[in-house]
Amino acid sequence: MKFKLTVLAAVLLAAMSAVCADHAENEILVKYKPGIRAQLSIKTVSAKAVGNFAETRTERIKLPKNISAEEAIEALKGKPGIEYVGFNHKLKVAAVYPNDPIFQEGYYNSDYDIGDLLGDYGDIWDILGPLYGDNGGLGGMLSGSAYQWGLWDREKGFDMKLPQAWEITTGSSEVIVAVLDTGIDYLHPDMADKVWWNPNEEDDGIDNDGNGFVDDVVGWNFVTDEPDPWDDHQTYGLMVQHGTVSSSIIGASTNNNLGIAGVAWNCPIMPIKVMAGDGTGLESDCADGIIYAVDMGVKIINMSLATDEDVPVLRDAVAYAVAHDVLCVCATGNEDSGAPHYPAAYPGALAVGAYNKSGERCTAADWGQGGSNYGDYIDVVAPGNTILGCSSMVKDQDYFFFDGTSAASPMACGVAALLKSVHPDWSAQRIAEQIKRTADDCGSPGYDIYTGYGRVNAYRALTETIEDITDLSAAKKADLGSYVNLNDMVLTTSSGEIENMLFAQTKNRISGVMLYFPSGAPEGYTAGDVVKISGSSDVYDGNFCIKNPTMEKTGETFEIKPFGMAGIRVGGGAYGKQPGVVDSYSYPRTFSEGLTNIGCIVRTAGKITAVGPDWFYISDGSPLDDGAGYDGIYVHTPDGVVRPNINKKVIITGVSTGSVVGNTSIVRRVLIPRRQSDITVLK
């Protein structure tokens, strides 16, 4: 059956002058019924078929300028052989652009006189100027670049893709975010509606909810031990209000025709003041604040604060949060330092560095001094250069620019809140892993110590599915960085036995794995505990590992039985991402080809051939050479384990591991006794 568009010449009138914005001008799509061969004669009206989609029996028709799409559709509707005729609709990225004027138009679009801006504080510009310069802060504002680029970047595109993410969720009122900082200006017009109110407490001098805090209607002030968490933070006499800035980045009132947009629009903010007006605070107050938030049922905490000291009380408080499935999102600090900073470096925390408008790690060129701290504990980076937030720095209850990981952390925290809103059943670790694994890679390919897994991408975090690998053997074959969720794993070491590590193996002893904690292994775990392990895969010092995992005890214990084997069988060959160990480092170099037992508990015997401060070699006569000049297996003795003397015959029970030789990629076999009883001296 043939159909002609010649009918259009007879029945269609003059073209419409207006063009609908939601479809292509002068185009239609025609879908034919099954079994109908489309052979349109369009010469009489100068129409043109410009695309044919055979799989769907559809043609794209370009109309002459004097025929509108509306008229063509009306004329062809109901014609024999035509199943559908309609517009060729325009598509756009699903996105929500709130009407907040600063989000839409920027802040201080025109140049301002510095004296007008700073008012009575104009005389201290000589102090503040060098800190901001032309790259960020006030310098950036004066150059007219003040807009919320971290949420929506109309220039370079290195934003967190929030408009697209907001199409999915703007946050849930059930997801409360605690902000441990200098407090909050709860009267700021863009924050007043976002401050959490304790539904079980009244301002009446009575501890109505029985939590030990009288009148904690809007959080608590641990600095002065009172219920008013007002933000009194000042720098050089200016009301900077660091905590208010952090809170507003996470969740300022949005789409309210006022001020700025927050990352998580509908998530309430619980203000917990742990820092004094001068921007300093005590670890004890911070620890108390963490415990308060956890006990009040919060599942996400932001801490835009840092110290280079590993303080026990703070470590224990973060561990308390992790144990209660609470995600601590923490700033890495701004000193351009590679040393660990806390609480970001504690196990279970999401450590957030900062990147600039060019998508690169922030340095002194962005901030005037310092730079985003780095190290093997950093997880991701988020926008941290010229970030707008609520502040009274220039005008009362207004807005201002801020730099640093203190701004980056609440950016990432807001994304965590969006994820929790969509997936209320997800654990803290699952949310953290989702953010890490959906980050946009930057810096060196893959994970690196400067930008972690990359730049936070809210839209990817909310839309991409990360495969859960539940089998250890499969995890070793998968790409490094894969999310691993292992059940019924048996711990083969106890907390504190081996620095920064725990080890676990399957109940059937087929496979074992290192659990690597760069900032120290968690306390309270005992060999034989059956646990659930969640985290991402990596390789550390020649060992396939799960880096910074979270663990949950099942309550079951399991008897650990070591494999007895000859020395040459310790370690084993390569398997997936687990490297094999070297048998002979010297020429001709050879490697083990047996089944890998790295990560498992093994037992072997031999004669001590060499002794060092925290190591010795044992040989059972197997031809082993790891390049150190000694025969046998390298045995590392942890703190508290005394090594035997040379020439003694011993039986060693320990963890089969590996260690990279020098600056090579060669892995030697290493045996680690866990405790003194793992070494038996025969004679």
**Annotated active-site positions, please?**
181, 242, 406
Within 13 Å of residue 670, how many CA atoms lie on the same side as its CB?
A: 21
- Rounded Cα gap, residues 105 and 148, in angstroms: 9
CA–CA separation, 667 vs 570, rounded Å?
13
Type of residue found at 635:
V
| 60, two tokens | 């794209």
Q: Which helix (H) or strand (E) holds 615?
A: strand 615-619
Distances (CA, A) of 219 to 180, 263, 635: 10, 21, 53
Q: What is the full DSSP assignment across 217-261?
A: TT-EETTTTBS--B----BTTBB--HHHHHHHHHH---SSSSS--
Q: Which of 250, 246, 238, 300 is nearest to 273 (CA)?
A: 246
**Please, is 290 exposed, middle or buried when counting C-beta atoms within 10 Å of its C-beta (0-12, 13-18, 19+)?**
buried
Distance CA 394, CA 92 (A): 39
User: How far apart (Å, rounded) are the C-alpha atoms in residues 385 and 140?
Assistant: 10
- The angle that helices 312-323 and 283-295 make with each other, rounded to 10 degrees, is 10
> Which residues are CB-contacts of 203 (< 8 A; sequence separation ≥ 6)?
215, 217, 227
Burial 341-356 (b: 16+ CB within 10 A, else e): bbbbbbbbbbbbbbbb
Rounded Cα distance between 42 and 631, Å, is 88
**What's the rounded Cα separation, in Å, for the pair 573 and 165?**
45
Q: Report the alpha-carbon distance of residue 512 to residue 644 in Å, rounded.
A: 27
Helix (H, G, I), strand (E, B) or coil at 642: coil
Helices 405-422 and 428-437, axial angle in degrees (round to 10) = 110
- CA neighbor of 133 nearest in space, from 121, 125, 122: 125
List the end-to-end C-alpha distance of the chain, in Å, as a whole number: 100
Q: At CA 325, angle to CA 320 and CA 328, rounded to 5?
A: 70
DSSP states of 160-206 as a string?
--HHHHHTT-S--TT--EEEEES-B-TTSTTTTTTB---TT--SSSS
* E strand or H helix that includes residue 414: helix 405-422
3-state secondary structure of 350: strand
**C-alpha 414: how far from chain center:** 11
* Contact present, 8 and 45 (Cβ < 8 Å): yes
